[in-house]
Amino acid sequence: MARIYGRTPSAANNPILAGIIPPGRYRPVPGKIGGVKVVALAGGVGAGKFLRGLVRIVPPEDVTVIVNTGDDVEVHGLHVSPDLDSVTYWLAGVADRDRGWGRAGETFRATDELRRMEAEWSWFGLGDLDLATHLLRTGLMSGGATLSGATAEIVRRFGVAARILPMTNDQVTTRIEAVDETGTAIDLHFQQYWVERRARDQVKAIRFQGVERAAPAPGVLEAIAAADAVLLCPSNPVVSVDPILATPGIAQAVAGRRDRSVGVSPIVAGAPLRGMADKLLPVVGAEVSAAGVASYYARRGLLGGWVIDRADAGQTARVRALGIRTVVTDTVMTDDEAAGRLARTTLAVALGVDT
């Protein structure tokens, strides 16, 4: 059983405290919790797992997912949106759980043939099933659809009831300024740094090219303003969540809902469960710890609550000192049931329910 530390916000106009779930000690209840509008900021595998849990306890129609598009890239003439696709595949139940990305039952014959022909960017592993998504998206956008419109159509065709929104319809690209093994300065697309070069370079800076000219996609700001809970998924803070927050207006909107904004630490026992957050957090001046990530978000006024793993219970006082309600629970999502328990606890914190 989890426990919340720190001051609980007012229950005024709180739909859960108004009767959907009784106030006081929180106990899991069977079925879904209706009448609660939830917004999640998402990117990567951790987000996909968490969202699978979230739609177990909240009707997917009441969930809006705002997804990072800084990873988007053109490959072989196709518009590839890795995080949008990952979120869609996880919510559709077709994600490859073992690999963490792409489709279950995937094959790579097209990519293998491109590599045989030494095609540029053939190091980027587009699966054959995944390729169909990129072909559909590119065709829709070539026909005049925005990224939002193309995403909505793809989501519909995958039978996903949750609303999935790109952070922006404008082009924003995560660029990595690094130094290679010879000491040479290099400027890389994030996919080159992470996939092609396997994060081996020393990172000096991260920038979101084009973000200053970008606008939030239609519905993004409205969804945050109307949400009963705003959840920061256990995603890489620097390259999955920060591009969303850097889009003009989004960080301010989240900060405006700070009392209902709760994040789940992507760091457990001093390390990320997946990915390269431990390499990138120090670049932005953040400590690689559950408390360090909480502080990174808190100094921008984004958090009202923070969920950390039992392995990091000793950091509770540090997070609480930031004025943030803190929960200690099991955050490792071994399956959908575990993800559901984590999502239920996180939602309870956002809505001011003691667990």
Q: How confident is the model at residue 9 (pLDDT cuts 50, 70, 90)?
A: very low
Residue 302 lies in a domain: yes
Greater confidence (198 vs 15) lies with 198
Q: Is 19 a residue whose pLDDT tops 70?
A: no
65 close to 164: Cβ distance less than 8 angstroms: yes
| φ, ψ dihedrals at 37, nearest 5° | -90, 125
Residue 192 is predicted with a pLDDT of 97
pLDDT of res. 94 = 97
Host domain of residue 77: 71-160
**Same-domain status, 353 and 250:** yes
Instruction: Specify the pLDDT at position 101.
Output: 87
Contact partners, residue 318, CB within 8 Å, separation at least 6: 291, 294, 295
Regarding whether 58 and 99 lie in a shared domain, the answer is no
> Quick one: three-class SS letters along 112-144?
HHHHHCCCCCCCCCCCHHHHHHHHHHHHHHHCC
Chosen domain end from 100, 127, 160 = 160
Helix 147-157 × helix 128-142 angle, to 10°: 140
Residue 15 pLDDT more than 70? no
Residue 191 sits in the same domain as residue 225: no
Q: How many domains does the chain have?
A: 3
